[in-house]
Amino acid sequence: MIMPFMKNLSAGYHESSFDIVTITIIMENIFMSRFISVACCALFVISMISADAKAAYDVVAGKKIYETTCAGCHKGGLLGAPKLSDKAAWVPRIKQGLDVLVSNAIKGFQGKTGTMPARGGNSQLTDAQVSDSVDYIVQQQSK
């Protein structure tokens, strides 16, 4: 009488312990897939941030380019160029937005005060270098 009951009990115990194992495995899988998706999300965010950091302007490089290429006109206001130190001249230009300023500096443009040559007359400069120097000029206006 007792033996079959014991057998049943142990069988029952076995079954439920198997269930616990199964549940544990399922939970672990859920946890792992969650973990993996969280890790993937984190990686994605990190890559977005670093892509952003790359896209951001390099003001230190911009300063050098300004000094070697742009200062010739923009320091002293040669040929009608807005002076670096002339905030009043830059504020309305900055209001156009950085994209317009960058595009005008890359392509060159004829304005009311004079002619801004494409890439400040230095065709060796890349778009990124011109953007950096424009950003440097713009940053100086908020100081």
State which residue, 12 or 121, has the beta carbon closest to ligand HEC: 121
For residue 10, the Cα-to-chain-centroid distance in whole angstroms is 61
Q: How far is the CB of 56 from ligand HEC (least distance, A)?
A: 17
| Binding residues for ligand HEC (CB under 6 A) | 65, 69-70, 72-74, 78-82, 93, 96, 100-101, 104-105, 111-117, 119-121, 130, 133-134, 137
| Identity of the residue, 5 or 112, whose beta carbon is nearer to ligand HEC in the bound complex | 112
Distance separating alpha carbons of residues 34 and 88, to the nearest angstrom? 55
Number of Cβ within 10 Å of residue 34's Cβ equals 10
Q: Give yes or no for a contact between 83 and 113, defined as CB atoms under 8 angstroms apart.
A: no
3-state secondary structure of 116: strand
Shorter beta-carbon distance to ligand HEC: residue 12 or 111: 111
